[in-house]
Amino acid sequence: MIFFSNPKAQYLAYKNEIDAAIENVLSGTQFILGQNVASFEEEFAKYIGTDHAIGVGNGTDAICLALNALDIGPGNEVIAPSYTAVATIAAIKMAGAIPVLVDIDPNYYTLSPEAIEQAVTEQTRAIIAVHLYGQSADMNKVLTIAKRQKLKVIEDCAQAHGAIYENKRVGSIGDIGCFSFYPTKNLGALGDGGAVVTSDGVIASHIYKLREYGWDENRISQKSGRNSRLDELQAAVLRVKLPYLDADTKKRKKIAENYDKAFQSLPLVCPPVRDRCSHVYHLYVITVNNRNELVQFLKQNNIFPGIHYSTPVHKMPTYTDSLPIGANLTQTDFLADKVVSLPIYPELGTNEQDRVISTIREFYLP
Ligand SMILES: Cc1ncc(COP(=O)(O)O)c(C=O)c1O
């Protein structure tokens, strides 16, 4: 069976090093916020190109804590795309702010700058730019709007570890970058984990406090924080994997290249890549007209694709009232009926890639 992602294969690829790192933590005495977390924070900040990285419990918390650190909460609106993992929007609600869901750009599937412009009101405080599927949002346009409207920019980088937008890694472009290390992510832990990155020292110092009950150095809560810490075991695993991230991304790109070439003449759309950007292919998402039939055919052949996403957030019951007045989410609704995520992960062998390719060719050219 071939699945669209395979975190177990990633563990096995680095098993010896990961097992040794875990053993090392277990033989020590500090399981929370010790040397592994501190070192990982330093190494990850260096990799992304920011002054600070703060390990937190998961990617959803990372976004919520970013909003907390910017003092964005009740009564404030936050603009984000409806076409994203629901976690992006759940984080806005967790912060007590009002999510305002906008449409995507039909070419690259990331949030539409025109839709942002139309959604800004007196209450808007921030934009969350989601780097969907492994590719950066249109950051120049997002930053221009943010500057003009005096809004903060939070990058949701959960699907785009290492992706580059015009020579900068995502996470280092806006005010704050938020990462998830959920096991299927391009940099995945063996459990939950996340990080907030920023080069703003004031924001960083807020996040350090907010992730631990709002404590100051004397363990006195100066603000109302929460418990959202990255633990030593996950940090130790991430430290093993981080040095391999670029090599793993290269493997993902090679698979994407093979798929792009093989599907050229078929009636489907391969993932579009923005100029001067590097896509890290967290997901390889094609769009097709006959999704149900294709997915069924793939499953009959023991290939299990994903669908990201069949229900955009604005169609989920708790978020149906989160649209700006007069909003039109045509592109989001259009895409939701068409996307299929094909298997892609660094350990996907050439035989398995060939099987995916030949099965799809057989579907279209029986
Ligand atoms: C775009 C996006 N944002 C946020 C998250 C939330 O990450 P986590 O599952 O670590 O809370 C995810 C992960 O699913 C995601 O894909």
Banded pLDDT at 366 (limits 50, 70, 90) = confident
Cα(44) to centroid of ligand 1, in Å? 18
Expressed in angstroms and rounded, the spacing between residue 59 Cα and the centre of ligand 1 is 5
User: pLDDT digits over 321-346, tens only?
Assistant: 988 887 889 999 999 999 999 999 99
Number of DSSP helices (H) and strands (E) in the chain, helices first: 13, 14
| Residue 326: predicted pLDDT | 79
CA of 85 to the centre of ligand 1 (A): 6
Q: For residue 62, give the ligand 1 atom closest to its CA.
A: 11
| Mean pLDDT on 311-324 | 94
Distance 178 CA to ligand 1 centre (A): 9
User: Ligand 1: which of 89, 182, 230 to mutate, judged by most atoms within 8 Å of the beta carbon?
Assistant: 182
**pLDDT at position 328:** 87
Query: Residue 191 C-alpha to ligand 1 middle, in angstroms?
Result: 13
> In the block, which residue shows the tokens 């500057």?
147
Residue 261's alpha-carbon distances to 266, 269, 270, in angstroms, are: 10, 12, 10
CA of 218 to the centre of ligand 1 (A): 32
For the purposes of burial, counting CB atoms within 10 Å of the CB of 171, is it exposed (0-12), middle (13-18) or buried (19 or more)? buried
Domains of the chain: 2-102+109-243 (3.40.640.10), 245-364 (3.90.1150.10)
Ligand 1 closest atom vs CA 181: 10
Mean pLDDT (the chain, rounded): 97
Say whether 171 sits in a helix, a strand or coil. Answer: coil
pLDDT at 239 over 90: yes
How far apart, in whole angstroms, are the C-alpha atoms of residue 349 and residue 77?
Answer: 45
Q: Which residues are near ligand 1 (CB < 6 Å)?
A: 58-60, 84-85, 87-88, 130, 156, 158-159, 180, 182, 192, 194
The protein residue with its alpha carbon nearest to ligand 1, atom 14, reads 85
The alpha carbon of 186 and the centre of ligand 1 are apart by a number of angstroms equal to: 12
pLDDT at 97: 97
pLDDT-derived band of residue 280, with 50, 70 and 90 as boundaries?
Answer: very high
Residue 313: alpha-carbon gap to chain centroid:
16
d(CA 79, CA 100): 5
5: amino acid identity, one letter = S
Mean pLDDT in residue range 277-289: 98
* pLDDT tens string 16-60: 999 999 999 999 999 999 999 999 999 999 999 999 999 999 999
Give start and end residues of each alpha helix (H) in the chain: 7-13, 15-26, 35-48, 59-69, 86-94, 113-119, 139-149, 201-210, 232-241, 245-263, 291-300, 330-336, 350-364
Amino acid identity of residue 241, one-letter, is K
Confidence category of residue 256, pLDDT binned at 50, 70, 90: very high
- Is residue 287 pLDDT above 90, yes or no? yes
What's the gap in Å between 283 CA and the centre of ligand 1? 13
Nearest CA owner, ligand 1 atom 12: 158
Amino acid occupying residue 282: H
Of ligand 1's listed atoms, the one at least distance from the Cα of 131 is 1
Mutate to test the pocket of ligand 1, among 65, 78, 159 (most ligand atoms within 8 A of CB): 159
pLDDT of residue 325: 83
pLDDT confidence of residue 314: 97
φ, ψ at 203 (rounded to 5°):
-60, -45
First to last CA, the chain: 22
How far is C-alpha 277 from the chain's CA centre? 16
Q: What percent of the chain has pLDDT over 70?
A: 100
Give yes or no for a contact between 50 and 196, defined as CB atoms under 8 angstroms apart: no
Distance CA 332, CA 287 (A): 13
Ligand 1, atom nearest to 60 Cα:
11
| Mean pLDDT of the region 107-128 | 97
Q: Any alpha helices (H) in 70-197, and if so which ranges?
A: 86-94, 113-119, 139-149
Residue 5's pLDDT band (cuts 50, 70, 90): very high
Q: At a CB cut-off of 8 Å and minimum separation 6, what does 107 contact?
A: 272
- Mean pLDDT of all residues in 284-309: 98
- Give the mutation target among 92, 180, 187 for probing the ligand 1 site: most ligand atoms within 8 A of CB: 180
pLDDT reported for residue 81: 98
Q: 98-121 burial by CB neighbour count: b if 16+ within 10 A, else e?
A: bbbbbbbbeebbbbbbebbeebbe
> 102 pLDDT exceeds 90?
yes
Q: Reply yes or no on whether the pLDDT at 146 is more than 90.
A: yes
CA of 192 from ligand 1 middle (Å) equals 10
- 324 secondary structure, DSSP code: P
